[in-house]
Structure 1
């Protein structure tokens, strides 16, 4: 995923995305806690959806459309669920939405809200499609979402992400680069994380366009840790299995297409920026000769 642009004054500036998370928390608190049950029933689902839709639109600076109901629940965690959801593309990038999802749901820890800290708990996204694009002039359709904003106009809320029970199911990402003329498509992506820190995780996806004339299937399972301050993820004893199908001969006169399968164990220390690969096993075969690495 594209990373935010460098920020020369991080103490005074921030992007729209933490501001959006904070606004979601404020919205959930205002409706879930600030209003009694009778008042919430009087507002009705249509009015609640309109409030959430306008709040998200204002936060992102993009038109957000909520086609379904918005529900807010108060348990030991504050819960917010909505869908289907669409987020409009940036101006000049066409009418196709930048993001659409059948359902988005998240929980937020209650006690940190008293100190204006948003600490997301579980996160779930089902059937989400994201379209990223870079035009020939170098402009991207996510520039306005990652460009730092003046924090003096904000409410003083901060975001402290904690990976907890993340469930991403059937995620698709398409990236079109008009500068290079290449396209990358990731489909059927899935991510599940456990509780705590560090946390167990599993992920899988299929991709096309990473290399010319190839498609990739990848499965990962291991243990990870998140440094929220630096935005870095460390990996421990992560098992990676891949299958690459190449639609060109690997050697002159070789089989077409060819299938390269591999297994390896990955460890990554973000503090030292050290990546270690071990137990590597890779093999190439014709596609009509299925085999798995030992």
Structure 2
């Protein structure tokens, strides 16, 4: 035992020299890899391989693809691709215009974190997207063939399994050597100047959005992120148009199917013949959460302002998507001027004997609801000098049966006569 220890001590300097040599070789290899990564985009022009790239994408989605813009490539420290104009052909029977076009797109993945089984994506950018979605008179959508092609490819790659057999199991956990959603990080999403249209030949619906923007901060599962969304919308058949903007702090937990939002600020301006007075503006603020697996949601401190009304609400929902779905909460309409609200909605207030009539009103109640009923409890409604208290219930929305138990303290009918 003593001799063995002395032998090890005697060889220690030699082992250090070997370690230094190995580290030196490793350093040279790393330098060579970095140099190759830097030189590769300079030596290889991906634009020379456009036909092969187009063919590879077409083989995956079963639809003609045209990358007419330039392709840019970076390798280290980010493996990145930048595309110029790209288009995806429409399905047969949906016209000659492409189903989708984009003026520019970019995405990158950092290489070194992959060694630690972490996925770090840079900014995902999309500029000038034009997405045309449609359903024909037979009820078939123009993206159905892409979905079917992807399903066939998945089945073929699964050793001939049928699509049903090749569907992923309800087990999101990766194996010990794989990646997980918790390891995914995205630097940001930056989509600007997008346009989306939806035409449904079965209903005649025609909806369009333009100037769409979607911008986020850093996306990490379970971490809060700021989200901005906005754009213009148009529904020509409904003589309706306008603009929408949304800002919120969102905390997604994709692995747990749980989503929370706060600091919501939603603003909508609607205009057109279908809008009272030709133009209306509404804003909504609040917070909430949604548990997909539990079928539960919660909306807190929601505040709606529109047409001279200020409405506050708190709502809880459970057993969503089932016959036992239940909703409860409280809604309050702050004191308002009914005559002013009617004028905002381009309704002429009725003439009254008393000038102060129809000048103040308010509402407050708790509610419980299901798929086929709603009940208001602890109602307190006011109109000028009068107040109503009690409860009310509506059963069977298809053939409503209305019941109520209300008490009115006083009402001077003469005040409201012409």
TM-score normalised to structure 1 length: 0.72
User: 1: CA distance between counterparts of 2:180 and 2:82?
Assistant: 19
Instruction: Sort the Cα spacing of 1:233 and 1:64 in 2 relative to 1 into closer, same or farther, 3 A.
Output: farther
How far off its partner does 1:117 sit? Answer: 8.1
User: 2: CA distance between counterparts of 1:151 and 1:109?
Assistant: 31
Residue 203 (structure 2) aligned to one of 151, 156, 180: 180
Residue 273 (structure 1) aligned to one of 272, 283, 297: 297
Provide the residue aligned with 2:240 in structure 1.
214
Instruction: Sort the Cα spacing of 1:92 and 1:112 in 2 relative to 1 into closer, same or farther, 3 A.
Output: farther
Aligned residues: 249
* 1:83-162 equivalences in 2 (<5 Å): 83-111=84-112, 113=114, 120-147=121-148, 149=151, 150=154, 153=157, 160=181, 162=185
Provide, for residues 34-84 of structure 1, a one-character-per-residue CA deviation record: whole Å limited to 9, x for no partner: x76666555434323333222222222111111121111123332111010
Provide the residue aligned with 1:60 in structure 2.
61
User: 2: CA distance between counterparts of 1:146 and 1:268?
Assistant: 33
Instruction: Sort the Cα spacing of 1:80 and 1:205 in 2 relative to 1 into closer, same or farther, 3 A.
Output: same
**Are 1:49 and 1:69, in contact at CA under 8 Å, matched by a contact in 2?**
no
How far off its partner does 1:286 sit? Answer: 8.5
Instruction: Sort the Cα spacing of 1:193 and 1:154 in 2 relative to 1 into closer, same or farther, 3 A.
Output: farther
TM-score normalised to structure 2 length: 0.52
When the two chains are superposed, the root-mean-square deviation of aligned CA atoms in Å is: 3.4
**Are 2:37 and 2:75, in contact at CA under 8 Å, matched by a contact in 1?**
no
Instruction: Sort the Cα spacing of 1:175 and 1:162 in 2 relative to 1 into closer, same or farther, 3 A.
Output: farther
Unaligned runs of 5+ in 1: 1-31, 288-294
Question: When you count helix as a share of all residues, which structure comes out higher?
Answer: 2
Greater relative contact order structure (CA < 8 Å, 6+ sep): 1
**Are 2:38 and 2:75, in contact at CA under 8 Å, matched by a contact in 1?**
no
1:189 to 2:212 alignment: yes
Q: Quick check: which has more Rg, 1 or 2?
A: 2
Q: Which moved more, 1:90-99 or 1:127-136?
A: 90-99
Instruction: Sort the Cα spacing of 1:162 and 1:74 in 2 relative to 1 into closer, same or farther, 3 A.
Output: same
Provide, for residues 191-226 of structure 1, a one-character-per-residue CA deviation record: whole Å limited to 9, x for no partner: 110114321111111111298221131111111133
